[in-house]
Each structure stands twice: as structure tokens, then as C-alpha cells.
């Protein structure tokens, strides 16, 4: 069986000048459909029919047959039927006859070989005379009839209940040879073949061009992350937040030692995930453009195996020496000095959840009425309880409300509740676990106690003066929490006493000027723009690396 693909390509395009040979994502537009045809198992030969010498110069090196279109077929009012018939007859007379003729439009660069071959199989197996490409265009629609606008439906229904409406995409029209004539390409037995929406784009306007190019630049991104009661949910929340800003790209997750709660967070946000041991990751990662690691420190073996795959590798908060093997390292919490140019450090690269980007920051109040205590999803040192006990007199004497937020990994909730009852401040304390919208819970908070993790940045983005305590040695490296003038840093947990907490809280309650100074020095705007910087760093550095311009 022989199948001929004919690509009609005029030089006189109206909407976009020289459209067929303009560079779309660095390649001439016409070459996309030609390469799709050349890669097809079913297509015997390809003819480009054109009236334009520039188009001939572009397609000649691709090894296709070229039919120089007669002048009478190059006018604006000429339809495709006589053009395709002329090219078919020319090929038949000069080479051989065929069984099927496929019209392939150069303005459909996103059509894939797989879709085209399924359509060819469809017409052959079902024995149709003609099959053309369509896309589902089922919507409530209106039409103009006798100078009136009337509904093009009998009943207003949800889209899924409406009768199917298909729109021609123009990507391909497949016909048996006997139905190719100067006036027609349709046989009696006609069917349609539905193509995916992204493959249905027909480039006619600059906007079509822009959309097609953006689709071509979509990347396959794999997040490798972890979240459980031991390490908390911070890595999960950050990767999900970053994934949401990269919407439009193809995104998946690979989970390492991850709790059911963390898996649920990923699923409810609409992402798919793999779950297996780290050895299975390498095979899966082969098909991705970018691998983003966010699970604390990487091992030398892991990074060496990833490097062999030739992916672009991004590491978050990796303090191991192996991070230097990554193409890009982003660390908003823990800074180093004299680092390579591909290491991006500091609060400017903080990834805040979208709730913090849309919730207005708090306004300063003269009196402290609401204090927030939150020490992460696990709080191994039970700083939550230590803070509550230290504030009992302050709460009682000044009638201050305390909001306590604990995570899913907090194991001392019963002890916390009992202690609050014992010291008699239960009417002033509200305990919340597994918060959905942290930004909402931070509204109207005047002062906060927290550990030296990402919550410091969340509080700062809401302009809440902060008292921070490092849970462990790693958190002592958080330079923002230690040196920013909007944060009162008390040191590492094992060295902080209840009286230390009480003293600094009382000082800030009584010293409005100091609190206002802290309030003014929190870089809330820079923090809220951090996710934009991170996204741009990842995408821009990827393309520099891809194009061979990386360091």
C-alpha cells in the first residue's frame, strides 16, 4: 500500500508574512509537518506544492519532492482541491500511483506522528473513503439568521450533556486516490478523527503563533521530594506551590518515604506521583527535562546517577557538597559565602504558598492583642508547650489571646491541652491542627513565636514581628532569622529557657516603638516576589543550559 502526503505551501500568506518559512521555536514552520510525515511508517513519499522560491530553498534539503505550482493555481481565490489534484497527478505521472492521498497543512505544526498514524490506521481498517481531522468544539453557541442572533441549541445544558460538535482543524484530510479531483477530495463514506486540543492549533494569526510556540516549549518536570512526621511537610508544600506556578508544563512527583497525609496534599492539588525506592527513580527520570530535588541533603551516589541521565538538575536547600553537581541550587534559608554563580541564596528566593500572595499584610497595631505560637509540623523539642507555659502570666494579666497552630506530626497534643487547663488560660487559647490556609490564620496576629524554618518567611510576608528559636543545628544556619531586624532570635532550643521567652515577649508588648521598627524592617514585598524569581531562575537557566550556554 502506498500513501502520498501532499503539503500545500503558498508564499503569499496574509495574516503572518512569509509564515511558512518563519522560524517557530527556531525551526521553519513548514518543516514540522514535513518531519511528522517523514517519521511516519505509513507514508511512502511527500510532495510540497508551492509557488515560492524561498519555500523551495527551505524544503529542498529535507529530501522531499517539490511541485512548482502553476501560476493559475497560485491565486488567492484558488481552493485546495485543484492544488492537491495537480500535485497528485504530477507525482503519478513522474513517479508512481498511490492508494491514498493525505493533505497535510504546514499551519498545523503540533500534529504528532502518533496521531497521524492512528488516523491512517482508522481509514484503512474502517474502509472509509475520506477522513479529516477535527477537534471537540462542543459549547453553547449562537448563530446569525435573517439578520437576527438566535441560539444554536434547543436546550441550555451543561457542556457534557450537549450533542457533540466538531470543528475541522485542517491538519490532515485523508482520501482514497479515486476521490481526488480538481473540484473535490471527499468520497461518499466520510468520517472524522478527533485530535487532542494542543494538536488542533491552526496557525493563522500572531496569537496562534505565540500559543503554538509556548506549547512547543512546554517542559517535562519531575519533583523528587519527601514529607512525613519526622521531617515535616515543608518540602511537600514548597514543591506543590512551585509546581502550581509552572502550570502548563508537564509535571509529576516522585515521592521518597512519604506519609499518606503528604500524598493526599499532592493528589488534591491535581498532581500525579510515583512512589518507589530511589533506585527506580533513575529509569523514570530519563524522560524528563528537569529534575527538582527537595528532600534535604543528597548523596554522592544519587547525584552521580542523575548526572548520567543528562537532565537539568535543581536542588533545594541541599547543604551537602554534592549540591555542586546540580545545574542550579536554590536555598532561601541557609546561605553560604563565595558560592558559584549557579547557587541562589537568601530570602529573595523564598517560595510562599499562593495564599500569602493574595492575602494583604497585617497593619500595625499599638497594642498586642493576639499572639501566634507555631513551631512547625513536628516540633520535636515541644517548643509549643514551653512557649505557652512561659506566657501564662502575660496572658492572664493582659488578657491576650493565644493562637496555637500545630502540624500533623505533633505528638504532644494531649499534654499541651492538659497543661493549658492546668495553668488556667484555656479561655484565652485556641489550638488548631492541620491548617489549610496559614495566611488566613495569621491575619490580625500582632506577634509570633516560631522556629527558624519557612514559617519565618510566611510571618514576615504578613508583616508580623517574630520571635524565633532554632529547633536544631541546621536551623541555626538560617541567616534571615538570625540577622533580620524584624526578627528577635533567641538561639537554639536546648539553650532557651521559659524566662527567656517571657522576657522578650513582655518587652515587645510594652515597647511599641521597637515592635514598629521590627514591623517596618520585614521585607514583605521581596518575599512575596520570591516565587517569581525562583520560577524564572529555573526556566531561564534550563534554556541557557539546553542551548549550550551554561557555565
**What pLDDT was estimated at residue 180?**
98
Domain pair 3-216 / 361-520, same fold: no
Q: Is the dihedral of CA 243, 249, 252, 256 positive or negative?
A: negative
pLDDT in tens, 281-323: 999 999 999 999 999 889 999 999 999 999 999 999 888 889 8
**What pLDDT was estimated at residue 77?**
86
List Cα–Cα distances, 78 to 70, 106, 181, 462, in angstroms: 12, 17, 14, 64
Q: Report the Cα–Cα distance between both ends of the chain, in Å, rounded.
A: 52
Report the CATH fold assignment for 361-520: Rossmann fold (3.40.50)
Q: Which pLDDT band holds residue 93 (cuts at 50, 70, 90)?
A: very high
pLDDT in tens, 339-354: 788 899 999 999 999 9
Query: Is the domain defined by 3-216 classed in CATH 3.90.550.10?
Result: yes
Whole-number mean pLDDT of the chain? Answer: 94
Whose CA is closest to 388, among 406, 408, 409, 365? 406
pLDDT in tens, 201-260: 999 999 999 999 999 999 999 999 999 888 888 899 999 999 999 999 999 999 999 999
The answer to whether the CB of 394 falls within 8 A of the CB of 505 is yes
Q: Give the H or E element holding residue 66.
A: strand 65-68
Residue 466 neighbours by CB distance under 10 Å:
26
**What pLDDT was estimated at residue 550?**
47
pLDDT above 90 coverage of the chain, percent:
83
Task: Give the whole-angstrom CA distance, residue 23 versus residue 32.
Answer: 11
Mean per-residue pLDDT, 20-37: 97
Mean per-residue pLDDT, 506-510: 97
Q: Judge whether residue 274 has pLDDT over 90.
A: yes
**What pLDDT was estimated at residue 551?**
44
Q: Report, at the CATH architecture level, how domain 220-353 is classified.
A: 3-Layer(aba) Sandwich (3.40)
pLDDT in tens, 56-84: 999 999 999 999 999 899 888 899 999 99
Q: Which pLDDT band holds residue 155 (cuts at 50, 70, 90)?
A: confident
pLDDT in tens, 37-46: 999 999 999 9
Domain map (residue ranges) of the chain:
3-216, 220-353, 361-520
Amino acid at each position: 500500500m502506498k500513501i502520498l502526503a501532499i503539503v500545500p505551501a503558498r508564499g503569499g500568506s496574509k495574516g503572518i508574512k512569509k509564515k511558512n518559512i518563519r522560524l517557530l521555536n527556531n525551526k521553519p514552520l513548514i518543516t514540522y509537518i514535513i518531519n511528522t510525515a517523514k517519521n511516519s511508517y505509513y507514508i511512502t513519499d511527500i510532495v510540497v506544492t508551492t509557488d515560492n522560491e524561498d519555500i523551495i530553498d527551505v524544503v529542498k534539503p529535507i529530501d522531499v519532492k517539490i511541485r512548482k505550482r502553476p501560476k493559475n493555481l497560485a491565486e488567492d481565490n484558488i481552493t485546495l482541491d485543484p492544488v492537491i489534484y495537480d500535485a497528485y497527478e504530477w507525482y503519478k505521472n513522474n513517479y508512481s500511483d498511490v492508494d491514498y492521498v493525505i493533505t497535510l497543512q504546514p499551519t498545523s505544526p503540533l500534529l504528532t506522528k502518533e496521531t497521524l498514524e492512528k488516523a491512517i490506521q482508522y481509514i484503512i481498517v474502517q474502509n472509509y473513503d475520506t477522513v479529516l481531522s477535527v477537534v471537540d468544539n462542543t459549547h453553547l453557541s449562537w448563530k446569525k439568521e435573517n439578520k437576527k442572533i438566535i441560539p444554536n441549541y434547543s436546550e441550555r445544558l451543561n457542556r457534557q450533556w450537549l450533542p457533540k460538535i466538531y470543528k475541522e482543524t485542517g491538519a490532515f484530510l485523508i482520501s482514497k486516490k479515486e476521490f481526488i479531483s480538481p473540484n473535490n477530495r471527499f468520497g461518499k463514506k466520510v468520517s472524522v478523527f478527533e485530535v487532542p486540543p494542543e494538536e488542533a492549533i491552526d496557525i493563522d494569526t500572531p496569537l496562534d503563533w505565540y500559543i503554538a510556540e509556548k506549547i512547543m516549549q512546554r517542559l517535562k518536570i519531575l519533583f523528587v521530594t519527601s514529607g512525613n512526621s519526622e521531617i515535616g511537610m515543608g518540602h511537600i508544600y514548597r514543591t506543590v506551590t512551585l509546581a502550581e506556578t509552572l502550570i502548563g508544563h508537564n509535571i509529576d512527583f516522585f515521592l521518597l518515604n512519604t506519609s499518606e497525609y503528604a500524598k493526599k496534599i499532592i493528589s488534591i492539588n491535581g498532581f500525579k506521583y510515583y512512589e518507589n525506592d530511589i533506585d527506580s527513580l533513575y529509569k523514570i527520570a530519563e524522560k524528563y527535562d528537569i529534575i527538582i530535588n527537595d528532600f534535604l541533603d543528597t548523596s554522592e551516589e544519587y547525584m552521580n546517577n542523575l548526572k548520567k541521565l543528562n537532565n537539568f538538575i535543581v536542588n533545594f536547600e541541599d547543604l551537602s557538597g554534592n549540591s555542586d553537581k546540580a545545574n542550579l541550587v536554590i536555598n532561601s534559608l541557609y546561605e553560604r559565602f563565595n558560592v558559584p554563580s549557579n547557587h541562589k541564596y537568601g530570602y529573595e528566593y523564598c517560595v510562599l504558598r499562593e495564599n500569602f500572595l493574595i492575602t494583604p499584610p497585617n497593619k500595625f497595631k499599638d497594642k498586642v492583642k493576639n499572639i501566634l505560637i507555631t513551631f512547625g509540623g513536628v516540633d520535636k523539642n515541644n517548643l509549643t508547650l514551653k512557649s505557652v507555659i512561659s506566657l501564662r502570666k502575660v496572658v492572664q494579666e493582659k488578657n491576650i489571646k493565644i493562637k496555637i497552630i500545630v502540624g500533623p506530626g505533633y505528638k504532644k497534643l494531649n499534654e499541651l491541652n492538659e497543661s493549658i487547663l492546668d495553668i488556667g488560660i484555656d479561655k484565652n487559647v485556641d489550638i488548631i491542627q492541620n491548617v489549610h490556609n496559614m495566611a488566613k490564620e495569621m491575619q490580625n496576629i500582632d506577634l509570633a513565636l516560631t522556629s527558624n524554618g519557612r514559617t519565618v518567611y510566611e510571618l514576615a510576608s504578613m508583616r508580623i514581628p517574630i520571635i524565633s528559636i532554632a529547633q536544631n543545628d541546621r536551623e541555626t544556619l538560617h541567616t534571615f532569622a538570625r540577622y533580620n531586624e524584624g526578627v528577635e532570635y533567641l538561639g537554639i532550643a536546648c539553650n532557651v529557657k521559659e524566662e527567656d521567652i517571657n522576657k522578650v515577649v513582655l518587652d515587645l508588648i510594652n515597647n511599641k516603638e521597637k515592635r514598629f521598627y521590627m514591623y517596618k524592617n520585614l521585607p514583605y514585598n521581596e518575599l512575596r516576589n520570591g516565587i517569581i524569581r525562583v520560577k524564572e531562575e529555573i526556566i531561564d537557566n534550563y534554556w541557557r543550559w539546553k542551548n549550550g550556554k551554561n557555565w
